[in-house]
Amino acid sequence: MEYFLITSILVCLAAVFGFINVKFLKLPNSIGLMLITILFSLGVIALSAIDDTLLNAEKYIINSIDFQTVLLDIMLSFLLFAGALHTNFEQLRIQRWPVLVFSTIGVFVSTFLVGTIIYLILQLIPLNVDYIYCLLFGALISPTDPIAVLGILKKAGAPKKLEAKIVGESLFNDGVGVVIFLTIYKIASSSSGDVGVGQVLKLFGMEVIGGVAIGLVLGYLTYRLMRSIDDYDIEVIITLAAVMGGTAIAHHFHFSAPLAMVTAGLIVGNDTVRSSTMSKITETYVDKFWELIDILLNTILFVLIGMEMLVLTVEGDYIIAGLIAIPVVLLCRYASLLVPIQFFSKKLDFVPNTNLIMTWGSLRGGISIALALSLTAEMHRELFLMITYFVVVFSILVQGLTVGKVIEKLGVRKQ
């Protein structure tokens, strides 16, 4: 009953805040919801000077939710499948090689650049943090968040081939980023320190290859089942079963559920598969169902992110580190894309200033916060949670609000 009550409260808050945003602020949903929730939480904190009842109730809700489990083990699979289902597959196919490089090598490079620079900065503040824990922060903050990116880019007006790069990369790099994070986490938490290269490669290979393999099998099975019948109700349920069953299987075998869901979603959403498996009414119902799931979970997610500020440990050094981390993460993102973009730009006719737009459009969101919350006290959880929150809030509120203007200013807005 308690979980139902907490879920009901979150959905009601999301509905009220969403209404306020649509009616008055008229911002993209992810930005508006986070902004309103942060303002609401600040108001609750201010009110607590008179009566702390509401503050204690909000803290109770936040502390009762395992953000890491709720997002990474449940919500993320639904959100990634919905995002992949509506991705322009043809443009993604054309841009497959840069997307692959951005979401793998780009994340690796960014992880080590961010980790190294943050380590040096923390020594100067001074905050004595081991290098391995700074690499953990680099891993959790380097992937762009597809949930945030998909919602905001729809209104940014980016050319299709640029949008395919940003969205395609964000769909895959969060899965790769989670795998890198878990690999470094295993090394950092090993008391004996005897984690070898072979073990690391085995863990990484199982997560990535296993996740993609399950996604391919799920996508094919879903395709075959939907092709053999013509009943939009059951076909919608089949797609839902693919996500829920596939996620459970991936978790059981310790494969990457995010990569599995992205792969399955891309197969089912492919125009060729759609035309051979779905009638027009089925396609409409499937699309509308997953759009509704996407919108509902997104609203709840960004309300949760806004409320997470209540559990932050506020210290002067932590705030300084958080403010410095914002330009560091952006510069490392720019540097990690520099070589791949130079290599692919002439072959695939990249739009001008692709690196600048991809850097400013690289939004961070709930995935980074969920990973930061999974850190232990020994890994300086409170410090990195504060830094992550600064980067995420800046990313959503500032970058998210201005990425459309940046695209327009650079003269690459689609006609």
pLDDT reported for residue 327: 97
- Which amino acid, 128? N
Average pLDDT, stretch 191-201? 63
pTM strictly above 0.85: yes
Q: Which domain holds residue 196?
A: 67-409
Check: CB of residue 41 under 8 Å from CB of residue 310. Answer: yes
pLDDT value, residue 193: 53
Given a cut of 50, whether residue 392 has pLDDT beyond it is yes
Provide the percentage of residues in the chain whose pLDDT is more than 90. Answer: 49
CATH number of residue 322's parent domain? 1.20.1530.20
Q: pLDDT at position 405, please?
A: 85
Structural domain contains residue 52: no
- Confidence check: pLDDT of 261 > 90: yes
What integer is the mean pLDDT of 206-215? 91
Question: Of 208-212, 271-275, 303-307, which gets the smallest average pLDDT?
Answer: 271-275
Least confident of 116-130, 146-160, 326-340: 146-160
What residues contact 276, with CB distance under 8 A and at least 6 apart?
227
Q: Is residue 37 part of a domain?
A: no
Mean pLDDT to the nearest integer, 272-283: 90
Bond preceding residue 340 cis, omega within 30 of 0: no
Radius of gyration of the chain (CA): 21
21, part of any domain: no
pLDDT bracket for residue 140 (50, 70, 90): very high
Determine the pLDDT at residue 196. Answer: 63
**Which of these ranges, 74-88, 316-330, 386-400, has the smallest mean pLDDT?**
74-88
- Residue 36 resides in a domain: no
Whether 14 shows a pLDDT value over 60: the answer reads yes
In a domain, residue 302? The reply is: yes
Is residue 26 a part of any domain in this protein? Answer: no
| Arithmetic mean of pLDDT, 164-183 | 84
The answer to whether residue 45 sits within a structural domain is no
For residue 195, give both structure tokens.
């984690």
More confidently predicted of 410 and 8: 8
**DSSP letters for 267-296:** HHH-HHHHHHH--HHHHHHHHHHHHHHHHH
| CA atoms of 293 and 25, how far apart (whole Å) | 23
Give dist(CA 180, CA 200) in Å, integer: 10
Percent of the chain beyond pLDDT 70? 94
Q: For residue 243, is pLDDT > 80?
A: yes
Taking the C-alpha atoms of residue 284 and residue 218, their distance in angstroms, rounded to an integer, is: 21
What pLDDT sits at residue 157? 65
Total domains in the chain come to 1
Query: How large is the average pLDDT for residues 121-128?
Result: 92
User: Residue 39 falls within a domain, yes or no?
Assistant: no
Say if residue 380's pLDDT is above 80. yes
Banded pLDDT at 415 (limits 50, 70, 90): very low
Helix (H) or strand (E) holding 266: helix 257-269
Q: What is the pLDDT of residue 383?
A: 95
Amino acid letter at 64? S
Q: Where are the alpha helices (DSSP H) in 96-229?
A: 96-103, 105-124, 131-141, 146-153, 160-189, 197-227
Spell out a b/e string for 382-392, using b for 16 or more CB atoms within 10 Å of the CB, else e. bbbbbbbbbbb
Taking the C-alpha atoms of residue 173 and residue 274, their distance in angstroms, rounded to an integer, is 26
Which pLDDT band, with edges at 50, 70 and 90, does 147 fall under?
low
